[in-house]
Amino acid sequence: PQTHAWTDVNHINGQLVKVGEENDYLKKFKRWNVSANPIGWVLGFYGVSVSYGINNQMAIRGDVNFMKPVDEEDTTGVELGVGLPIYFRRTYQGLFLEPGLITRTTSSPEYCYECASADDQMVTSTTFGPQVLVGWHWTWSSGLNFAIAGGVGRNWATKRSEYADDELFGNGYLRFGYAF
């Protein structure tokens, strides 16, 4: 005997599916994804990322970030990045490899030993170059999603000076988003 109406049971064409997991069984995916790191917002890293799924395995992603860390009063920065996440399962689902390009400029006070006054001087540092991240992306049928990635990049803007950034740098992200 039927105990519940089909409208009260989660299914796809009569096949029972766990609530929130319909997305695992459908080939079609949501093309757009907007995400951010709310933990970063608390720490002074304000940013947003927008992705567009260009096919079943790839998306193009762009992000912009403003940095003003809460524990470093005069330090600020801006970061722009583009990436091409390649998903091994399906766009916005599972393991992905993300080659991309990043530019980051930060300004922070440094004590000047050679200056006439004992004041700090503002030092600007620029990172620009390719990066490759490896990550995992979870997307639920509601469109809510979570992604985490980490990897390494190469700084083409490295100059031989005491204020230069390292030639290789680590990078990554943690983002909560909504796909539609």
Q: Using CA atoms, how far apart are residues 83 and 141, in angstroms rounded to an integer?
A: 24
How many residues belong to the chain? 180
CA distance 113 to 178: 49
Residue 8's contacts (CB-CB under 8 Å, 6 or more residues apart) are none
Residue type, 134: V
Hey, which residues does 34 pair with through a beta bridge?
50, 178
Cα gap 24→88, rounded to integer Å: 14
Radius of gyration of the chain (CA): 22
User: Can you list the domains of the chain with their CATH numbers?
Assistant: 30-179 (2.40.160.20)
Which pLDDT score is estimated for 105? 95
pLDDT at position 62: 99
Q: What is the mean pLDDT of the chain?
A: 90
* pLDDT score recorded for residue 159: 65
Q: Six-digit token pair at 83?
A: 């990436």
CA distances from 112 to 19, 117, 126, 180 (A): 60, 8, 19, 51
Tell me the average pLDDT across 90-110.
Answer: 95
User: Is residue 172 over pLDDT 80?
Assistant: yes
Considering only residues 9 and 76, tell me which one the structure prediction assigns the higher pLDDT.
76
Residue 162 reports pLDDT greater than 90: no
Instruction: Write down the pTM of the prediction.
Output: 0.83
pLDDT, residue 119, reads 67
36-66 per-position pLDDT tens digit: 999 999 999 999 999 999 999 999 999 999 9
At 25, the pLDDT band (50, 70, 90 cuts) reads confident
